[in-house]
Amino acid sequence: MVSIRTAAPALLLVLAGCVSGPDHKPPEMPLPAKFSEGGTKANGDVAGSQWWTAFGDSKLNAFAAQGLAQNLNIQQSLERINQAEAAVVTAGAGGLPSLTVTGDHTTSGQKGSLRTQTETRNITGGGASVSWLLDLWGQYRRARESANASLDAAYSTVDVQRLTYLQDLANSYVDARYYQTLISIAQENLKSRRDTLSLTKFQLDAGAASRLDVVQAEGLVNQTLALVPGYEISYRQQVHHIATLLNVPSTTIIAQMQGGGKQPVFRGNVHTGIPADLIRNRPDIRVAERTLAASTAEIGVAEAKLFPSITLSGSIQPSYIHSSSSSGSLTSWSFGPALNLPIFDGGSLRAGVKSAESTSRQNYLAWQQTVRQAVEQVENALSAVTRDAQTISALRAQVKSYQEALQLSTASYKDGASSLLDVLDAQRNVTAAQQSLAQAVQQNARDYISLNVAIGAGYVPAGKATMAEAPAKVVKVSAKK
C-alpha cells in the first residue's frame, strides 16, 4: 500500500505537468500553386536581398543603408523588443517562489519629572517570508508562452518597420527624381518656346505674322514658367521627407540631391516565388501568426483560473531584546499551505475564457486576411511590372515622333508654309509626351519597389525569433485539451 508521504509528492508532480487550454498550431490555409503571372519555382530566404541596388543609383544605396540604422520608427520598434523581453520575465515570475526579507531596530524609553524611572530598551528584529503558488494548471506557463509569442511578434515588427522604411524611402527618392525630371523638361521646353517667340516676333517685323501669333507664343512661354515652381515645391517636399526618414537635417539631403540625376529605372526580372513563400518571408504575416499564438496561450491562462490553487507560505521572525535589567531572544515561525477554491463568481471566470477564445478566433481570421492581402499585393504588383516596360517603350517612340513633328513644323513655319498654331501644337504634344514618359518611368520604379516589398524582400532581420527555433505543437486553434 502506498503511503501518503509517497503519494503526495507524486500527485504534485502529476498536477504540475498539467497545462490548461489548447496548444498553438501554426495555422494553415489553401493557397494556389503559383501566382497568376508567376512561375512555380519557390523562393528561398529573400530577407537579405538588396533589391534597391538594381536601380544602379549610388545615392539611393547609401540612403538605404544609412536609414536602417537611424530611422526613428525602426528605433522605436527595437525598444518594444526590450518591453516584450521584460514582459516574458514578468509573466513567468508568478509561478516562482518569492522571498522577502525585512529587518528593524527600535529604541524605546520614557523621560519626565515623575520619580518612577523606566529603563531604555533596544529591540532588534528581522524576518523572512516565502510563498510559492503551485502552478498546478499551467497558468503561468501559459502566460510565459503568450509573452514569448509576443516577443517573437516584436522581433517581426522590427522587420515590418524596416521593410516599410525601405519602401517609403525608395518611393520618395523615385518621386524626387521624377520632379527633377519634370523641372528639366520644363526648362528644356522653355528654351524651345522662347526661341519660337523670338522667331514669331521676327516674323511680325517682317510682316509674315500677326500680333495674335506673338501673344499666343508668349502665353505658352508663361504657361511653362508657371509649371516650374509647382514642380520645385513637390521636389522639395520629397527631399524633406527623405531627411525625416534618415533623421538628418534637410539641408544635408538637398546638397546631396543637387545637380539632378536620372530617374531610377529597373530593367530585369523579379523572381516572385510562390504564394506559400509569403508565409515564411513576409514579416507582417509572422506578426499575425505570433499574435494568434499569444492569444491562444491566453485561453489556457483564463481556464487555469477556474480551478483550485494552492499556495505554500512560511515565515520566520527572530528578535533580540536588550535592556539594563534583562536581555534575550525570541523567534517565531509559521508554515502551511493555503487553498483557494473559486465557487461562485457570477460567471466572470467563464466569461473570461469565452473572451479569450473569441480573441483567438479573431486573430486567426486576421492572419487569414493578412495572407490573402499579401497574395493580392503580389498579384497586383506583378501584373503592373510585367506591363510597365511596354508602356515605357511606346511612350519613348511617341516622344521621338512628336520631336520630329516639332522640327518639321518649325522648319515649315520658318518657310511660311504653315502657321504658328502648328508649331505650338507640336510643342504641347512634345511636352505632354515627355511628361507621360517620365511618369511611366516613375510608376515602373514604384511598381518594382511594391513587388519586392510584397514578397517580403530586403529587410534586415532584427534577431532570431523563438518561433523559428521551436514551433508550438499542433492542434486546432479553437480546440480544447
What is the predicted pLDDT for the residue at 469? 34
Specify if 179 maps to a domain: yes
**Helix pair 283-304, 348-414: axis angle to 10 deg:** 170
Q: How far is CA 368 from CA 27, 285, 432, 463, in A?
A: 9, 9, 44, 25
The reply to whether 317 falls in a domain is no
The pLDDT value given to residue 470: 35
Tell me, yes or no, whether 149 lies in a domain: yes
Nearest-angstrom CA–CA distance, 318 and 331: 4
What is d(CA 420, CA 208) in angstroms, rounded to the nearest whole number?
Answer: 11
Predicted model pTM: 0.82
Domain range enclosing 452: 18-97+138-306+351-469
Give residue for cell 527624381. 177
CA dihedral 469, 470, 472, 473 (to 10 degrees): 130
> What is the C-alpha to C-alpha distance for residues 58 and 66, in angstroms, rounded to an integer?
12
Please check whether residue 321 lies inside any domain of the structure. Answer: no
Determine the pLDDT at residue 117.
57
CATH number for position 195: 1.20.1600.10
For residue 199, count other CB atoms closer than 10 A to its CB: 18
Counting the structural domains of the chain, the total is: 1
Q: What's the confidence (pLDDT) of residue 463?
A: 41
Give the three cell numbers for residue 301: 491562462
DSSP string, 250-312: HHHHHHHHTT--PPP---S------TTHHHHH-HHHHHHHHHHHHHHHHHHHHHHTTS-EEEE
What is the spatial distance between Cα 246 and Cα 355, in angstroms, rounded to a whole number? 42
Euclidean distance between CA atoms 91 and 148, whole angstroms = 9
Angstrom CA distances, 126 to 312, 320, 336, 374, 479, stand at 21, 9, 20, 62, 51
Mean pLDDT by 10 residues, the chain (481 residues): 47 58 91 92 88 92 88 89 90 85 84 64 86 87 92 94 95 96 90 80 74 83 88 95 94 88 84 92 95 94 90 87 78 86 88 94 96 96 93 95 91 81 86 94 96 90 37 35 34
Per-residue pLDDT at 467 = 33
In a domain, 311, yes or no: no
